[in-house]
Structure 1
Amino acid sequence: MSTLKNLFKHTFVYGLATVLPRVLTVLLTWLLTKYLDTESDFGEVSILFTYIVLLNVVLTYGMETAFFRFYNGESATEKTIKTSLWTLVVTTLVFAISSIFWIEPVARLSDINVSYWRWVVGILSFDTLMVIPFALMRAKNQSLKYAIIKMINVVISVGTSAVFLIATQKMTSLFTWLPNDKKELFFISGCMASALTLLFVSKPYISKFYIDISLLKRMLRYSWPILIAGLAFAINEALDKVLLQWLLPLDEKAAKEQVGIYTACYRLAIGMTLYATAFRLGVEPFFFSQSKDKNASQQYAMITKAFVVLGAIGMFVYIVLLDVIKPLLIGKPSYLVGMKITPIVVFAFFFFGIYQTLSVWYKVTDKTRYGAYISITGAVLTIVLNVVCIPTIGYMASAMATCAAYGLMMIVSYSMGRKHMPIPYDIKNIVLYIILSVGFSSVFFYLLRDYFGIGSIQLYLAGILMTAILVGVIWYREQPLLQQILRRKNES
C-alpha cells in the first residue's frame, strides 16, 4: 500500500495547490457577483472565459500530457524538456503576434470589447508558457514547490482583483492612468498575476534554444488526439455559456443575465470540481510511472474505487451543506434563482472524475486517439442537447447536457477499456456507491429541502441520518480499503 500512500500524499498537496486557485475562482465569483453592476456584466465576463478555456486548449495542444509520456519513457529527459518547452514558446509567440491582425474582427464577432480581448491574449500567452515548468515540477514530485507558487498566484490575483474592483472605485484620480471599466480592470489583474507567476517558474527557460525534430514529431503524434479530446472537454465544460447567449429567446442583455445566473450557480459545484481536479493532478504522473509494474492493473482498479468511495461520501455531504456554502460563493441573492442546476453539475463532475481514473488505459498504451473519440462523443451530445433544449427549458438544459455527456464518457471509456486493457474494477460496488450517493443527494435537495424548508433543523437532521446510512453501507463493504487509506494518510 506504499503506492497508495504516495499517491494520496501528493494528491493532498496538489489538492491544496488546486484548492487555492479554485478558491480564487470562488472569491472572484463572489467579488464579481457582488461588485459588477449587473448580472449581465457577470454574464459577459463568463462568456469571455469560455473563449479563454477553448483557446487555452488550442495553445497547449496536448503538450503537457505528451511531456509526461516522453519524460518517463525517454532516456534523454533533457531533450524532452527542451523540445516541449521551446516548441510552446514558438507557437505562443506566433499566437501573440498574429493577434494584432485577428483581435478586432473577433471582438466584433463575439460582441465583446476589444480591450478585454487584448488582456486575454496576455493571460493566455503567459499561462501557456507556464505549462511545461509546472509539469516538470509534477514529474519530479516537487509538489510542495508547485503548491507554493500556485499560492503566490492566488495572492496576487485575489489581491489585485479586490483592489481594482473595490478600492479604486473610491480613488477617481487613478482613472487618469487606469480604465474605469470594472470588467477591464478584472482582466488587467488576471494578466498581472499570470505575468508575475511566470517569473517564478522561469528557471527552465535559462537554457539554450533546442528542439529535437524527431522527438517533436513523435510528441505531436501522441498529443494531437489529446488536443481533440481537450477541445471536446472544453466544449463540454464551457461552450454552454456561449450557446445560451445565442439560443435563448431573449434580447442580448437578458440572455447575458441568464448566463450570469447560470455561471454563478454552476460554480457552486466547486467542491466536486476541486476533488476531481486534485485527484487528476496526483494520479496522472502516477499512471505513467507505474505502467511497467506487474501489479499496475490492480493498483489502477484500487485507485478508481478509492476515488468513488471518497467521492460518493464527499458529494452527498457537499449537497447537504450547499445552503450553508452559497453565501460564501455568491455575492448577491438575485443569482440564487438558478440553484436548482447545482446538484446536477456536482453529479457531472463526479462522473468526470471517474472518467479521468478510467482513462488510464488509453494514456499508458499510447492509444490517445480513443480519448479523442470518447470526448468528441460527449461534445456532440452536449451540443445536441443544448441546441434542442435551451429554447424550451433554458439553462437547465445546459446543466443536464453536461451531466449526460460526462456520464456517457464514463460508461464508454469503461466499455472500450475492457477490450484494450482489462483492469479488474469492482464494478458491482462502484455502481452501488454511485447510485446511493446520487440518489440520496437528489432526494435531499429536490424533495426534503422543499418539504422541511431551507435551513431547518429537521432538514439537517435528515442529512445527518442519510450521511450515516451512506457511510455505514460503504464502511461495511469497504472497511479494509478505508482503514488502509486513513492509516497511510495519518502516517504521512
Structure 2
Amino acid sequence: MNQYKSLVRNSFLFAVGSIGSKTISFFMLPLYTRLLSTNDYGQLDVLQTTISLLIPLVTFQAIEAVFRYSVDMREKVYASSVLINGLFLSLVGIVISFILFPLFTSFEPFSSYTSLFYSIMILSMIDGIMKQFVRGLEKIKTFVASDLGYTASFVFFNIVFLVYLKMGLSGYFLSMVLGHLVSIVIILVFGRIFKYLNFKAFDKSLLKTMLIYSIPLIPNGLMLWIMNVSDRYMLTYFLGFSATGIYSVSYKFPSLITLVNGIFFQAYQLSAIQEYGKKGYEDFYKNIFGVLSSLLFVVTGLILLILKPLMSVFVSEAFYEAWKYVPLLLVGTVFQAFSSFFGTNYTASKKTKGAFSTTIFGAVVNIGINIILIPLWGIQAAAFSTMAAYLAVWLMRIIDTKKFVGIRIDWKSISLSIVVIALQFVGLYFVENRYLFFVGETVLVVALLFIQRKYIKQVYNFGMNLLKELRASAN
C-alpha cells in the first residue's frame, strides 16, 4: 500500500506543476494561431524540434544520467559529484553546439534567430540538469515550483512581447529564454543547490559510470526523436512550413494525453526505481499499467467526442483543418505512453541497451512510412507513421522486458477499447449530422467507460480507502 501512496502523493505534486507548464502551449493556441501565420508556426516548430534533438546528443544524455544517479546518491558529497559531472557534460554540449554554429547560420529559420536559438538551447541544458537533480533527490516541491515559475513568466512575457510589442516569433523565443532563467533561479534558491556546487567534487570514475549508463540512451533518444518529430522536417521538405505549422497545431491536442501520462510517468519512474527487485513489484507493475491504460483510453474517447467544437474555438480558421490529423496522433500518443511505461524497466535495472534495440525498429517504421506516403497522403501520412511506430515499439518492449519483470496484460480490455475508438474515428470522418454524431460518440464513450469499469472501480476503492486513512489520522 505504501508504494501506491507514494505514487499518488508524487503524482499530485507533479500534477500541480505540469497542469500549468505542460498545458500552456495548448491553452495559448487561440493567441498563437491568431498572431502567428501557419508559416511562422512551422518555423517555430522546426526550431524547437531541433533543440529537442541536439540537447541529448551533445550532452551525452546527461539529464537522464543525473536523474538516475541522484536517486542512488543522496548523501551530500556524492550528490555534489552527480551534479558537477552533469554540469560538466552540459559544458561539453555547449562547446559542441558552437562548433555547429556555421551550419546553423547557413539555413532558415536558424539564420534569422541564431542568438535566441543558442540562448534557449544552453539554458535548457542547465535547467534540465538542475531539475532532474532535485527530482532525483525527491525535492519534488522545488521541481514543481520551477515548472510553475517557468509557466507564469512565459505567459507574462508572451503577452508583453506578442500582444503589446508585436514582436512575433522573436518575442516567443525571448519569452522562453526569460522563462528558463526564472526556473533556474527558483531551483538555485529553493532547492538550495549552492551547497552542492562544489567543483572539487568532480569525479572521473563516477563520470565514466554515468556515461556507461547514458551513452546507450543516445541512439535511443535519437530514434525517439525520429518518431516524435522527424516528420516535421519531411513535411517541410515535401509540403513547406505551412503544412508543418498545421501539423504542429494538430499535435497540441494529443498533448492533453501527454500531460496525463507525464504527470503519472514522472512519479511512476521514481517509484519503479525504488521498488524494482522488491517483493510484489510485478503486481504493482500490472495494477499500475491497467489503471494507466484505462485512464488514457477514456481521455482519448472524451477528446474525440469534443474535438471539432473544441478546435473551432481554440484555433483560427487557417488552422481548423488540423482536426483531421488529431485522431491518429491521439492513438499514437497512447502507444507512446505504453512504450514509455515498459521502458521504465530499462531505467530501473540500469540495462539501457534494450531501450535502443526496441526503439530503432520504430524509427525505421516511421521513416519508411513518411518517405513513401507523405508525397501521396500528405499530412495524414505523418500522423499514421507516428501511430504505427509507437505501436511497434510498445509490442517489442512487451516481449523484451519479460526478462526484467513478469508481464500480465488485460488484452481483452485493450482490444475492445481500441475497437470503440476506431468506431469514434468513423463517426468523426463520415457522420455529418451533428445530432447523430453527438449521440453516437456519447454512446461509444459510455461503452468505453463500461469496458474499463474494473480499473475505474479499483481507483475509486483505493481513493476511498486513502480518504478514510487521512480522516482517521486527522482525528
| TM-score (structure 2 length as normaliser) | 0.91
Which residue, out of 193, 199, 215, partners 1:204?
193
> Residue by residue, what CA displacement relative to the aligned partner does 1:214-264 show, whole Å, maximum 9, x if unpaired?
11111110111122211211111111111111233xxxxxx1111111111
Tell me, yes or no, if the aligned pair for 2:290 and 2:455 is still in contact at 8 Å: no
Which residue, out of 374, 393, 404, partners 1:421?
404
Distance 1:373 1:353, change over 3 A: same
Aligned to 2:331: 347
Displacement of 1:271 after TM fit?
A: 1.5
Q: Does 1:231 align with 2:222?
A: yes
Q: Which consecutive residues of structure 2, in runs of 5 or more, have no partner in the other structure?
A: 471-475
Q: Which consecutive residues of structure 1, in runs of 5 or more, have no partner in the other structure?
A: 170-179, 249-254
Tell me, yes or no, if the aligned pair for 1:61 and 1:224 is still in contact at 8 Å: yes
Distance 1:186 1:374, change over 3 A: same
Displacement of 1:405 after TM fit?
A: 0.7
Which residue, out of 255, 263, 270, partners 1:285?
270
- What does 1:97-108 align with in structure 2 at a 5 Å threshold? 102-108=100-106
Distance 1:100 1:299, change over 3 A: closer
Aligned to 2:282: 297
How many percent of aligned residue pairs carry the same amino acid?
19
Displacement of 1:410 after TM fit?
A: 0.4
- What does 1:210-225 align with in structure 2 at a 5 Å threshold? 210-225=201-216
Displacement of 1:28 after TM fit?
A: 4.2
Which residue, out of 151, 172, 176, partners 1:186?
172
Distance 1:29 1:229, change over 3 A: farther
What is the CA–CA distance in structure 1 between the aligned matches of 2:351 and 2:51, rounded to whole Å? 28
Distance 1:238 1:488, change over 3 A: farther
Q: Which amino acid aligns with 1:379?
A: A
Distance 1:284 1:460, change over 3 A: same
What is the CA–CA distance in structure 2 between the aligned matches of 1:373 and 1:30, rounded to whole Å? 40
What is the CA–CA distance in structure 2 between the aligned matches of 1:265 and 1:163, rounded to whole Å? 26
- What does 1:313-392 align with in structure 2 at a 5 Å threshold? 313-327=298-312, 329-330=314-315, 332-392=316-376
Displacement of 1:154 after TM fit?
A: 0.5
What is the CA–CA distance in structure 1 between the aligned matches of 2:336 and 2:346, rounded to whole Å? 16
Q: Which amino acid aligns with 1:208?
A: N
- What does 1:460-475 align with in structure 2 at a 5 Å threshold? 460-475=438-453
What is the CA–CA distance in structure 2 between the aligned matches of 1:395 and 1:412, rounded to whole Å? 27
What is the CA–CA distance in structure 2 between the aligned matches of 1:282 and 1:263, rounded to whole Å? 28
Distance 1:28 1:467, change over 3 A: closer
Q: Which amino acid aligns with 1:422?
A: V
Aligned to 2:473: none
Aligned to 2:231: 240
Tell me, yes or no, if the aligned pair for 2:58 and 2:92 is still in contact at 8 Å: no
Q: Does 1:266 align with 2:251?
A: yes
Aligned to 2:134: 137
What is the CA–CA distance in structure 1 between the aligned matches of 2:78 and 2:353, rounded to whole Å? 21
- Secondary structure, in 3 states, of the residue corresponding to 1:152? helix
Tell me, yes or no, if the aligned pair for 2:65 and 2:210 is still in contact at 8 Å: yes
Tell me, yes or no, if the aligned pair for 1:351 and 1:406 is still in contact at 8 Å: yes
Distance 1:223 1:91, change over 3 A: closer
Displacement of 1:117 after TM fit?
A: 2.5
| TM-score (structure 1 length as normaliser) | 0.88
What is the CA–CA distance in structure 1 between the aligned matches of 2:111 and 2:465, rounded to whole Å? 52
Q: Which amino acid aligns with 1:132?
A: I
Instruction: Give aligned pairs, total.
Output: 464
Tell me, yes or no, if the aligned pair for 1:385 and 1:401 is still in contact at 8 Å: yes
Tell me, yes or no, if the aligned pair for 1:374 and 1:412 is still in contact at 8 Å: yes
Q: Which amino acid aligns with 2:275?
A: Q
Aligned to 2:85: 87
Displacement of 1:482 after TM fit?
A: 3.2
Tell me, yes or no, if the aligned pair for 1:27 and 1:158 is still in contact at 8 Å: no
Aligned to 1:52: 51
Root-mean-square deviation (CA), in Å? Answer: 2.3
- Secondary structure, in 3 states, of the residue corresponding to 2:3? helix
- What does 1:153-192 align with in structure 2 at a 5 Å threshold? 153-169=150-166, 180=167, 182-192=168-178
What is the CA–CA distance in structure 2 between the aligned matches of 1:196 and 1:479, rounded to whole Å? 39
Poorly superposed stretches of 4+, deviation over 6 Å: none
> Residue by residue, what CA displacement relative to the aligned partner does 1:42-78 show, whole Å, maximum 9, x if unpaired?
111111111011012224433333334333444x643
Tell me, yes or no, if the aligned pair for 1:382 and 1:401 is still in contact at 8 Å: yes
What is the CA–CA distance in structure 2 between the aligned matches of 1:468 and 1:317, rounded to whole Å? 10
Aligned to 1:406: 390
The structure, 1 or 2, with the larger RCO (C-alpha pairs under 8 Å, 6+ apart) is 1
Distance 1:223 1:395, change over 3 A: same
Q: Does 1:441 align with 2:412?
A: no
What is the CA–CA distance in structure 2 between the aligned matches of 1:399 and 1:383, rounded to whole Å? 12
Q: Which amino acid aligns with 1:89?
A: L
Aligned to 1:481: 458
